[in-house]
Amino acid sequence: TRQWRGVIEEYRDLLDLPSGLAAVTLREGGTPLVRSDWLSGLSHAEVWLKVEGDNPTGSFKDRGMTTAISLARHEGAEAVVCASTGNTSASMAAYAARAGLKPLVLAPEGKISAAKMAQAVVHGAQVISVRGYFDDCLMLARDLADRYPVALVNSVNPVRLEGQKTGAFEIVDFLGDAPDVHVLPVGNAGNISAYWLGYTQYAEWGASTRRPEMRGFQAAGAAPLVSGEPVRDPDTRATAIRIGNPASWHLAVAAAEQSGGGFAAVTDEQILSAQHQLARHDGVFVEPASAAGVAGMLADLASGPEALGRWEARTVVVTVTGHGLKDTATALEPVGDIVDVVVDPDADEAAAAAGLA
Ligand code: F0G
């Protein structure tokens, strides 16, 4: 058996990249599509989870970072910059380390999980905290890249979407066709735009017969695509999607409209509850933002008896975007003490404590 080669080598002919581009890769992509018996049972649909936390740095960002960093190196960049709520910066730092580029991270002050910050720093990034939101960091990153010798690797750089569209390719390759519905969390809106690009190209090339409805879910306190207006002070416990003015706004709206899908908001309570239910029912531990799609599906199913008709007998893919280990502090809040009892190494005592005896 051969090893998965990473998204550039697996899909090179289908990506708009300079010919012969040397890949900077950690063998990202090729992530599991895991059937959710739990969600399939609730919705009477065939529900699959695209588990993007299985990527090398723990989120879907690696798909677009292999292309972005490969191109930055190809073009002679010496330094790369991104604005990030944490996952982009972790990914950029890892790929930049491999490519010998200097990574510079612009992070909203105090709003990034410790694990994501650790990834960036351990891979050698310089982290600059910015007084402001992600949206301010992105403006700053664009300005820096315009005026100084540093390459911008946020998803406003179209080479990121080239890599990220491979998520759609993998799903079609596995299922044999596109699903009926694709559900995912939306923050800066690069991922929904990339999936739509991938599904559209596969349909044009005859690799699939259809394109899915794209259903994007945002956190209620940071839901500009639902209200139709930028949010000045976005707020959510799902810090990865705490974004008030998504850069790929127009592409995302086009994806929703052309696909017959749409955007909806879920509360933090619904997001955190979905995160825990997914972990317990399906054995898949995701970070809070990653659970927004599952939360949205659950909220829709709970909205009334007519909801079932939207899901029943259909094939649904839910992208869960990042690993649960990215933010254990938030995950543990409702859990309380992890260890309830301490015993001597004695089977009878442990059995009594566990209620086995
Ligand atoms: N899920 C996770 C875990 C994320 O980290 C992000 C975005 C999203 C969903 C939303 O994806 O922005 O393409 O709509 N994280 C970015 C970052 C903003 O800086 O890591 P999107």
Q: What are 133's two structure tokens?
A: 């939101």
Q: Tell me how far CA of residue 253 lies from CA of 6, 112, 168, 197, in angstroms.
A: 29, 27, 18, 13
296 lines ligand 1 (CB under 6 A): no
> Looking at the domain assignment, is residue 263 inside a domain?
yes
> Looking at the domain assignment, is residue 223 inside a domain?
yes
Of 157, 189, 215, the position where a domain reaches its end is: 157
Q: How far is the CA of 222 from the centre of ligand 1 (A)?
A: 13
Q: Give the mean model confidence (pLDDT) for residues 180-200.
A: 98
> Looking at the domain assignment, is residue 303 inside a domain?
yes
Looking at residue 297, its pLDDT comes to 98
> Looking at the domain assignment, is residue 265 inside a domain?
yes
> Looking at the domain assignment, is residue 348 inside a domain?
no
pLDDT band at 107 (very low <50, low <70, confident <90, very high): very high
- Look at 194 and 334; give whichever has higher pLDDT: 194
Looking at residue 12, its pLDDT comes to 98
Residue percentage of the chain with pLDDT more than 90:
97
Whether the model clears a pTM of 0.95, i.e. scores above it, the answer is yes
Q: How far is the CA of 83 from the centre of ligand 1 (A)?
A: 11
- Look at 333 and 107; give whichever has higher pLDDT: 107
51 and 74 housed in the same domain: no
> Looking at the domain assignment, is residue 337 inside a domain?
no
163 lines ligand 1 (CB under 6 A): no
Confidence check: pLDDT of 46 > 90:
yes
Closest ligand 1 atom to Cα of 188: 12
48 and 73 housed in the same domain: no
97 and 228 housed in the same domain: no
Neighbours of 341 (CB within 10 A): 10
Give the pLDDT confidence of 258-267 residue by residue, as tens digits: 999 999 999 9
Q: Give the mean model confidence (pLDDT) for residues 57-71.
A: 98
279 and 309 housed in the same domain: yes
Looking at residue 337, its pLDDT comes to 79
208 and 321 housed in the same domain: yes
**What domain range includes position 112?**
61-157
Looking at residue 357, its pLDDT comes to 87
Dihedral of alpha carbons 293, 299, 302, 305, sign = negative
Q: In this structure, are strands 102-108 and 181-185 parallel, antiparallel, or unpaired? A: unpaired
206 and 186 housed in the same domain: yes
Contact 33, 48 (CB under 8 A): yes
100 and 243 housed in the same domain: no
C-alpha to C-alpha distance for 219 and 267, rounded to whole angstroms: 6
- Smallest Cα–Cα separation from 106: which of 78, 129, 133, 131? 129
How far is Cα of residue 59 from the mean position of the Cα atoms in its chain?
6
C-alpha to C-alpha distance for 239 and 265, rounded to whole angstroms: 15
Radius of gyration of the chain (CA): 20
Q: Which amino acid residue places its CA nearest to atom 10 of ligand 1? A: 187
197 and 73 housed in the same domain: no
CA end-to-end span of the chain, whole Å?
47
Closest ligand 1 atom to Cα of 86: 20
Q: What is the DSSP letter of 156?
A: T
Contact 69, 153 (CB under 8 A): yes
57 lines ligand 1 (CB under 6 A): no
Neighbours of 229 (CB within 10 A): 11
Give the pLDDT confidence of 127-151 residue by residue, as tens digits: 999 999 999 999 999 999 999 999 9
pLDDT band at 340 (very low <50, low <70, confident <90, very high): confident
Q: Give the mean model confidence (pLDDT) for residues 204-213.
A: 98
Of 123, 157, 191, the position where a domain reaches its end is: 157
Q: Which amino acid residue places its CA nearest to atom 12 of ligand 1? A: 188
- Smallest Cα–Cα separation from 127: which of 143, 156, 105, 151? 105
Give the ipTM of the model, two decimals please. 0.99
Average confidence score pLDDT of the chain: 97
Per the structure, the count of domains in the chain is 2
Give the pLDDT confidence of 219-251 residue by residue, as tens digits: 999 999 999 999 999 999 999 999 999 999 999
Mean pLDDT lowest for which of 86-100, 226-240, 249-263, 335-349? Answer: 335-349
Could you tell me where the beta strands, DSSP code E, fall in the chain? 33-35, 46-51, 79-83, 102-108, 126-130, 151-152, 181-185, 213-219, 262-266, 315-320
C-alpha to C-alpha distance for 178 and 217, rounded to whole angstroms: 20
Q: What are 168's two structure tokens?
A: 């759609």
Contact 161, 201 (CB under 8 A): no
Say which CATH number the domain at 28 has.
Answer: 3.40.50.1100
> Looking at the domain assignment, is residue 345 inside a domain?
no
> Looking at the domain assignment, is residue 69 inside a domain?
yes
30 and 103 housed in the same domain: no
68 and 83 housed in the same domain: yes
280 and 172 housed in the same domain: yes
Q: Which amino acid residue places its CA nearest to atom 15 of ligand 1? A: 240
Q: Which amino acid residue places its CA nearest to atom 4 of ligand 1? A: 240
Q: Give the mean model confidence (pLDDT) for residues 60-86.
A: 98
Residue percentage of the chain with pLDDT more than 70:
100
Of 157, 182, 217, the position where a domain reaches its end is: 157
Looking at residue 334, its pLDDT comes to 83
14 and 144 housed in the same domain: no
Mutate to test the pocket of ligand 1, among 57, 59, 89 (most ligand atoms within 8 A of CB): 59
